[in-house]
Amino acid sequence: MVQSLSAMVHQHKKLIIILVILVILPLICIAVFPYLISLTVPPDRLQVYEITEQKAQEGMIIHLDEQNFHEFPVLEEVLLGSEHDPPGQPYNEGDVCRVGEVEYPKKITQWTIDRYVIDNITGKRKYFEYAGRYYRIGTIYAD
């Protein structure tokens, strides 16, 4: 009266499939859900930090002048704007201080990250040089 394992699996195939789905599907949802939620919540502001030259040498440096500032309107607004925020505290190692921040008018997309934060070809962080000083952009999420 003892059935073989393959016969038992064959006899209860539907039950086994349902149990596997009930166990694995919630585990996948638990792992994937926070990642998907983070994709739907855009950062509210871009912040500009002054950094040391040594830190900038670790990434890709973009040299800014009056002619190419229009390609980076966030930097143009902060570095050339008439209003400057009081210096803030460093955020990461290598930061000198927070120079300013800009409310970003639209959802920050991969295009924005590629333009201001990471070079999508080399994978290195972008740093901007203007008037002998070095800057980086960071994204700030507000709850």
pLDDT along the chain (143 residues), means of 10: 69 82 83 72 75 90 87 83 63 78 69 83 91 86 57
Residue 1: the pLDDT is 47
Q: What pLDDT was estimated at residue 60?
A: 92
Residue 2's pLDDT is: 60
Cβ-Cβ contacts under 8 Å for 55 (sequence gap 6 or more): 93, 94, 95, 127, 134
Decide if 73 contacts 86 (C-beta within 8 A).
no
* Separation of alpha carbons 76 and 104, rounded Å: 13
Cα angle for residues 85, 114, 81 (degrees, 5° grid) = 25
pLDDT of residue 97: 84
Tell which phi-psi region holds residue 124, choosing left (phi > 0), alpha (psi between -120 and 50) or beta. Answer: beta
The Cα 79–Cα 84 span in angstroms is: 8
Predicted local confidence at residue 29, as pLDDT: 78
Q: 3-class DSSP state for residue 3?
A: coil
| H or E element, residue 100 | strand 95-103
| pTM for the full predicted model | 0.62
Q: Can you give the pLDDT at residue 127?
A: 93
